[in-house]
Amino acid sequence: MNPTYRYCPNCSAPLAEGEKFGRVRRYCRYCGFIHFREPKVAVAALISREGRILLVKRAAPPRVGFWALPAGYMDADELPEEALIREVAEETGVTVRVEGLRGVAPLAGWAARRGILLLYRAEATGGVLAPADDVSDAAWFGREDVPWAELAFESTAEFVREWARESAGAP
């Protein structure tokens, strides 16, 4: 969850609220701590192979039981590409090579207005499909059988629709 500090995480004094660096923020009168609401950063992968894409069925809120792109939050000591490779392997067992940044979207669900999602194109290079972690299933879907009504998030559904349009136009 997004922390809303009431006490200073440095010195435990109650925080005040006031204009700091152009916005109303909580701050500490004693040690100078300012609570900047820094964005959460998530990464998602559009992994295609032989005209199909890899989707995962969510086992954790929000949108349990709906399908989504493999995704997860970046740790502070990772680059986005490293987080992507780690998350895809954790959720699906598939190893990937990151091809490039496809787009940026706002986070959806409970994380809405708390950060951004970086969507990358990736190519599956190996591994064995084995759903784990916070997904209950993982499967490859062709353009014709994407479960459109059961996609978890509108922001990533848009990327899936773009992929479907492009693959329809491909020779």
| 13 or 64: CB nearest Zn ion | 13
CB 27 within 8 A of CB 15: yes
To Zn ion, the closest distance from the beta carbon of 21 in angstroms equals 17
Structure token pair of residue 81: 């590409």
CA distance 117 to 73: 9
Q: Which is nearer to Zn ion, 11 or 60 (CB)?
A: 11
Tell me which residues in 26-55 interact with Zn ion (CB under 5 A): 28, 30-31, 33
For residues 96-155, which are near Zn ion according to CB under 5 A? none
Nearest distance in Å: CB 20, Zn ion: 14
Pairing of strands 40-49, 34-35: unpaired
Instruction: State how far the Cα of 38 lies from the Cα of 76, in Å rounded to an integer.
Output: 12
Q: Which of residues 1-30 bind Zn ion (CB under 5 A)?
A: 8, 10-11, 13, 28, 30
Cβ proximity to Zn ion: between 17 and 123 the closer is 17
* Nearer CB in complex with Zn ion: 5/110: 5
Q: How far is CA 124 from CA 22, 50, 88, 121, in A?
A: 44, 10, 10, 10
**Residue 58 contacts residue 70 (beta carbons within 8 Å):** no
- Residue 17 CB, shortest distance to Zn ion, in Å, is 14
Report the interface residues with Zn ion, using CB under 5 A. 8, 10-11, 13, 28, 30-31, 33
